[in-house]
Chain A
Amino acid sequence: MSTPQTPHTLHFMPSAGFRARAKDVVENPFLRKSFRGAMDFLMSKRAAQFPDAEELESLRSLGERIRQYNLAKLPTLLEQLEANLTKNGINVHWAETPEEANAIILGICQKHSARLMVKGKSMVSEEIELNHAAEAAGIGALESDMGEYIVQLAHEKPSHIIMPAIHKTKEEIAKLFAENVPGVAYTDNVDALIQIGRNVLRQKFLEADIGLSGVNFAVAETGTLCLVENEGNGRMCTTAPPVHIAITGIEKIVEKLEHVPPLLSLLTRSATGQNISTYFNMISSPRKPGEKDGPNEVHLVLLDNGRSQAYADEQLRKTLQCIRCGACMNHCPVYTRIGGHAYGTTYPGPIGKIISPHMLGLEATATMATASSLCGACGEVCPVKIPIPELLMRLREESFSAPHANPAMRGQGAGYSRLVSAIWRAWAAVYRSPGLYRLATWAGSRFSWLMPANQGAWTTVRTPLKPAPKRLRDMLKERG
């Protein structure tokens, strides 16, 4: 078993306080409407992409098989990827923690005396809070995905992994631009707002010393980094600046190039309901002699950050099948009502609930897995068939069972309470023994007047719970 480490803590929003943040959103009709509308839109777009149920089912099975096959070979494939990338001229770095990843990236920036880094959309860079670390080191880190740019201007974090600014209205964005972009007057015309962003960011692509991106798939056999996007900012970040740094979690590897088309199809159709994204960018080397553009240096940072912990357990390993499409959050009744910020973690929604405990430890995330009705929608839409509800049950068990030796997860038992545990044990005993059960129901009906009128959250909008004066057993007996 690996030694417990101090979990990485997030700077912007502590993971505690989940309930309070969720309550704030539930009571905010504007946010409720934004999320409901956006999720309905994304769900119908996805459904329209999969008219044939048999095709969807068989493609999901193929996607699951591809991800499981590649995870089973993960250590070998990482070595193969490293060898082929190195052969192609791409520098490979390894980081166990967010701190190590930031140090590697900022080290490259400092070596080039970089002042400005433009960033393509990368959730892993959010996970390590690279912007925070870059700012502390005096290096400008500018988000260039339109949604990420908006969120960064507002000093917020993405509320959705695919659509980062989904919680904002165009009027809010109009105000944000008018206040923060020099020489810009208020306009809530979406085309005009996008043109403002385009003009500001074009200048930055031209000036930037470093381009940073994420990776959607890394192909071991060819040594290729694949990026999915619609805007072209990812291509800008990976082509215009003299240095490109890519960062990815260690799980995003496929052995064969032919594994990419099915996964790409599942990803774009599940995420935004597009049959393909506008751009699919495959990078296999830095600029070669004679070529006239492209970065002279390309780096890949491979990040662990708790993924190897998930990997070590056969059931939890399935978490790593994820291709980050966001369909689970789009279909989640909880996410739709509380939005992405309430979770306080980089990854919100069902996938956030099952991946964050590995990154942050169960100490900080013990209650996340309980924020679910276990309706199963996330598991049904997952394009690679991650059994999310099953994993949520497992995480509840890990959080609330008594601490034991050799736990599978950091922070196992963090939510354990002797009192709660005793109550459940008593409950189980009552249901196992007919005599005890009879006694308990008799006492319940006899002493129902003891039930308090105020039953906490239950009675804020409901009448108090009260056992019936007569048990079913007694009523049947009276009937003869």
Chain B
Amino acid sequence: MSARDRILGKLKAAAPASAGELPDVAAWYAAHRGTESVADKARRFRQCIELAHAEVYSVSRGGWLQKLYEVLSAKQLEQLLVAPGTAHGKRAQEELVPLGIACPAYDQPIEQWKAAMFTATPAAFTAARAAIAETGTLILWPDADEPRLMSLVPPIHIVLLDAATIHNTFYEAMQREGWQQGLPTNALLVSGPSKTADIQQTLAYGAHGPKELVVLLIEENPQ
């Protein structure tokens, strides 16, 4: 008999006949979490993620590229990893290169340039799929065009987020977007730059992931 059969055998012999009703998660959220307007959600998202040390800039739908350039200039960045397979990545590449920013593309498997990714990639630019107001959280679904390591390895990560996609809670996000129907290879919640308090409970940023997280928040009425 295999380990699998022995373990399952022991559990099945002891399992109760009925597990009872499915826990009513929806009722708890309905009773304890309200819904908010887009502007309120954007405000709460911003407040929470700023507390977690992220930089947030409110931008217009047409004006985010200008702000992106300003952020790069302020941080003296001359190079930005982009995903030209996406609309925002393509636009960033088209408009930033003439302004003197090198925009290498993540267009080959990591095996072919792993060392350069780890040692010579100061910043990356991606979009967020959505966000969560309650916890100040970005939802990222990396894919073939915008791979997983873009939001992890470069010391600075700049994210484009549309305020209209912000949900109240994590629960609401997965319900509205039907996540139980199928998840991508990797889905991520990101709520600030990488951090640790492992030495004497002293908070330090940039433990292993990005040291800085910048959010360009697209709003209808930018502040």
A283 to B141, CA, bound (A): 11
Q: Is A184 an interface residue (CB 8 A)?
A: no
Would B11 and A78 count as touching, CB distance under 8 A?
yes
Query: Of the candidates A72, A235, A264, A293, which one forms a contact with B109 in the assembled complex, judged by CB atoms under 8 Å apart?
Result: A293
Among B61-69, B88-96, B180-188, the stretch that binds chain A is: B180-188
A186 to B118, CA, bound (A): 26
A261 to B195, CA, bound (A): 22
Q: Is B75 an interface residue (CB 8 A)?
A: no
Q: Is B74 an interface residue (CB 8 A)?
A: no
Q: Is B13 an interface residue (CB 8 A)?
A: yes
Give the interface size class of chain B.
35 or more
A-B pairs with CB below 8 Å: how many? 257
Q: Is B99 an interface residue (CB 8 A)?
A: no
Q: Is A469 an interface residue (CB 8 A)?
A: no
Q: Is B2 an interface residue (CB 8 A)?
A: yes
Would B208 and A308 count as touching, CB distance under 8 A?
no
Q: Is B169 an interface residue (CB 8 A)?
A: yes
Q: Is B149 an interface residue (CB 8 A)?
A: yes
Among B17-25, B35-43, B214-222, the stretch that binds chain A is: B17-25
> Per-residue CB proximity of B168-191 to A under 8 Å, as 1/0?
011100110001101111111111
Q: Which residues of B (141-168) have their CB < 8 Å from a CB of A?
A: 143-144, 147-149, 152-153
How distant is A90 from chain B, measured CB to nearest CB, in Å?
A: 11
Would A275 and B182 count as touching, CB distance under 8 A?
no
Would B197 and A280 count as touching, CB distance under 8 A?
no
Given contacts A231-B209, A235-B152, A308-B7, contact A278 B191 (CB under 8 A): yes
Give the total of A residues in contact with B, Cβ under 8 Å. 99
A65 to B175, CA, bound (A): 20
Query: Of the candidates B19, B106, B115, B143, which one forms a contact with A69 in the assembled complex, judged by CB atoms under 8 Å apart?
Result: B19
A292 to B84, CA, bound (A): 14
Would B183 and A282 count as touching, CB distance under 8 A?
yes
Query: Of the candidates A258, A262, A281, which one forms a contact with B186 in the assembled complex, judged by CB atoms under 8 Å apart?
Result: A281
Q: Which residues of A (187-201) have their CB < 8 Å from a CB of B?
A: 190-191, 193-195, 197-198, 201
Q: Is B56 an interface residue (CB 8 A)?
A: no
Q: Using a CB–CB distance below 8 Å, which chain B residues touch chain A?
A: 2-4, 6-8, 10-16, 18-20, 22-23, 25-26, 28, 31-32, 48, 52, 106-111, 114-115, 118, 134-137, 143-144, 147-149, 152-153, 169-171, 174-175, 179-180, 182-202, 204, 206-210
**24 pairs of residues in contact across A and B, judged by CB atoms under 8 Å:** A69-B20, A168-B199, A168-B200, A206-B115, A206-B118, A222-B179, A224-B183, A230-B207, A232-B207, A239-B149, A240-B114, A240-B153, A257-B179, A259-B25, A261-B169, A275-B134, A276-B136, A276-B170, A278-B195, A279-B189, A282-B186, A283-B186, A292-B109, A312-B10
